[in-house]
Amino acid sequence: MRALSKATIYALRALIYVASKDNKDQQYVTIGEISEELNISFHFLTKTFQVLTQNGVLESHRGPHGGVLLKKPIDRIFLIDLVHILEGNDFFEKCLLGLPGCGEKEPCPVHNFWKNVKGSLEKEFEKTSLAHLIKGISTGKMRI
Amino acid sequence: MRALSKATIYALRALIYVASKDNKDQQYVTIGEISEELNISFHFLTKTFQVLTQNGVLESHRGPHGGVLLKKPIDRIFLIDLVHILEGNDFFEKCLLGLPGCGEKEPCPVHNFWKNVKGSLEKEFEKTSLAHLIKGISTGKMRI
DNA sequence: TTATATTAAGACAATTTTGTCCCAAAAATA
DNA sequence: TATTTTTGGGACAAAATTGTCTTAATATAA
Ligand code: SF4
Ligand code: SF4
């Protein structure tokens, strides 16, 4: 099951990279560095980072010593927001069978079943922040 | 979140259609009828149905009065098996970040989180059969 | 045995997603 | 001001997925 597009996966890995870099003086991190470290296409990552910048997740700065940095503390950046931005606000509304023009009123056979699954996933995303995600990295037991 | 490919979605809807048709004398149902009723491309559905036939979910028969029918009782056809056949056996092994060559030994930040989500989804698929999925159709309160 | 109905199979086209490339815009600095 | 470094943005290419079409194989029945 691929829950997320590659573009989103790249963005998440990149954000985890930035978040896990303890960067007290808040220096900008270049997309070049990130893409190189994580082996992600520079231009592809740049494009999806633009979306994050436009949506207030990242702050970007051009020119020498430029780059990107997180606009909020890592414990206030939640997976659910990232997913809404990157995959669309209807991410958790999409359904298993994807029938046209259906819903609560006239639900298909899997409607209630899927509603539960989605519900628990959504809760999980709501309570998971970048801070949670980078736990374990510092100990060296996890990697991106 | 699109959990399943369109090919799989079509197959599931088609199977639900066949299963919900109470067909005591076990007549073959033509793919033509199914594709027309559900507005699915005939040829596309035919191809994914071939996979189901090759994997013992459907029995097919060519020629006049031919078609397909379920090879097992509807309460013995489980979502998890269909998904394994249609999406690959690694469906529930795929991970959120999809890093190359990682796993339990050297897990990434989201590994444990995702493991739980996948686990509950898998259980849900294991216990859901076609029989469960067609409930509510007979009452006319649900549709495919 | 011929015509017909149906699935099987594979070639091909369209669309979407992913990835590459080029140049413009902005900022620092020399 | 000129040069360099960096993101921004768009055109284009490649790959994967989805959809269409044509022909073959098989079974039924007239
Ligand atoms: S009834 Fe619900 S689960 Fe079924 S296709 Fe519609 S939204 Fe999806
Ligand atoms: S460590 Fe686990 S969750 Fe992370 S990329 Fe690997 S398999 Fe996926």
Mean pLDDT (whole number) for B59-75: 97
Q: Name the residue with higher pLDDT: B95 or B80.
A: B80
Angle at which helices A42-54 and A79-87 cross, to 10°: 110
The answer to whether A4 contacts chain B (CB < 8 Å) is yes
Query: Is A14 part of any domain?
Result: yes
CATH code of A24's domain: 1.10.10.10
What average pLDDT does range B108-137 have in this prediction? 88
8 Å CB contact of B120 and A117: yes
Question: What are the pLDDT digits (tens) for A29-45?
Answer: 999 999 999 999 999 99
Residue A144, domain member (yes or no): no
Query: Would you call B14 exposed, middle or buried from its count of C-beta atoms within 10 A (0-12, 13-18, 19+)?
Result: buried
Structural domain includes residue B62: yes
Is residue B100 over pLDDT 70?
Answer: no
Evaluate if residue A122 carries a pLDDT over 70: yes
Structural domain includes residue B1: no
Query: Which bases of chain D are contacted by protein, using any atom under 7 A from a CB?
Result: 4-10, 17-22, 25-29
pLDDT over 90 (residue B85) = yes
- In a 10 Å sphere around its CB, with 0-12 CB exposed, 13-18 middle and 19+ buried, how is residue B129 labelled? buried
Chain B residues lying within 8 Å of A37, measured CB to CB: none
Question: If you average pLDDT over every residue of chain A, what do you get?
Answer: 91
pLDDT at B103 over 70: no
Opening angle at CA B136, ends B133 and B137, nearest 5: 85
**From CA A6, how far away is CA B107, in angstroms rounded?**
19
Q: Is residue B29 part of a domain?
A: yes
Closest residue by Cα to residue B8 from B88, B77, B128: B88
User: Does this model's pTM top 0.85?
Assistant: yes
Instruction: Decide if B47 is inside a domain.
Output: yes
Number of domains in chain B: 1
* A97: pLDDT strictly greater than 90: no
Residue B143 included in any domain: no
In a domain, A1, yes or no: no
> B131-144: buried (b, 16+ CB within 10 Å) or exposed (e) per residue?
ebbbebbeeeebeb
Per-residue pLDDT of B33-51, as tens digits, reads: 999 999 999 999 999 999 9
What is the domain extent for residue B21? 6-138
The whole-number pLDDT of residue A111 equals: 87
Hits for CB < 7 Å against strand C across A residues 33-62 = 41, 43-44, 47, 61-62
